[in-house]
């Protein structure tokens, strides 16, 4: 994987996860919980959201492996979750679900926004437009991955709070969804079998009109 491509991917990923987390905090604040605001987390400054393991160590190891192997690889990580106190929500019934869906919706919005420009950027021999198109493709693809991955209906993903809000009795019966280890393994398996090869490419083509594969 080229160094320049890695830099683009890291920058886009960090921006996307920061927007994801800030969206959680902004909706929580709108619903009456100022915890994230008081903690200084309603900012796009990535330094406020970096997680030592998920934002530095793990991505750094994966990048180093990609460079040493001379081939592409999956660059993965996460930001530090914004602090939220659901007891402050004015909407006690659906407040948690509203805050949870805000992150994935923010990623979907970014995918739709930049996907529009992919549709209108002309196919030309211009290096500038070619590079811009590649950059926008990265933005859409990464945000679609974040959108789908975070909707997994198990803890600690955003989808868990949606699932438990609307299907509480079913959530109680599915123990593995409440176990963070088994749930994360299930999410990774889902992405490997359905998300990466089918669902994300389908959404990408639906939004951009072109195929990612």
Written as one string, the DSSP assignment of 35-55 is: HHHHTT-SS--GGGTB-IIII
Catalytic residues: 21
Measure the CA–CA gap between 213 and 195, rounded to whole angstroms. Answer: 13
Which helix (H) or strand (E) segment holds residue 66: the answer is helix 58-69
Separation of CA 118 from chain center: 20
Peptide bond into 156 cis (omega under 30): yes
- 98 SS3 class: helix
Q: Chain centroid to CA 163: how far?
A: 18
114 close to 68: Cβ distance less than 8 angstroms? no
Question: What's the rounded Cα separation, in Å, for the pair 13 and 200?
Answer: 16
CB atoms within 10 A of CB 8: 17
DSSP state of 192: I
- Give the number of residues written for the chain: 213
């Amino acid at each position: 994987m080229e160094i320049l491509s890695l830099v683009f991917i890291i920058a886009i990923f960090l921006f996307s996860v920061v927007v994801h987390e800030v969206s959680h905090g902004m909706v929580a604040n709108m619903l009456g919980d100022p915890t994230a605001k008081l903690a200084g987390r309603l900012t796009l400054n990535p330094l406020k959201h970096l997680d030592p393991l998920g934002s530095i160590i793990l991505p750094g190891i994966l990048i180093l492996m990609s460079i040493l192997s001379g081939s592409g690889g999956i660059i993965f990580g996460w930001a530090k979750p914004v602090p939220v106190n659901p007891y402050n929500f004015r909407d006690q019934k659906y407040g948690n679900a509203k805050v949870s869906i805000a992150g994935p919706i923010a990623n979907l919005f970014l995918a739709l926004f930049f996907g529009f420009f992919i549709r209108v950027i002309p196919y030309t021999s211009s290096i500038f437009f070619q590079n811009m198109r590649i950059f926008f493709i990265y933005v859409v693809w990464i945000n679609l991955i974040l959108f789908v991955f975070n909707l997994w209906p198990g803890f600690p993903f955003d989808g868990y709070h949606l699932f438990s809000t609307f299907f509480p009795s079913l959530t109680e019966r599915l123990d593995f969804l409440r176990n963070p280890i088994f749930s994360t393994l299930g999410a990774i398996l889902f992405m490997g079998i359905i998300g990466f090869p089918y669902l994300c490419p389908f959404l990408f083509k639906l939004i951009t009109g072109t195929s990612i594969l």
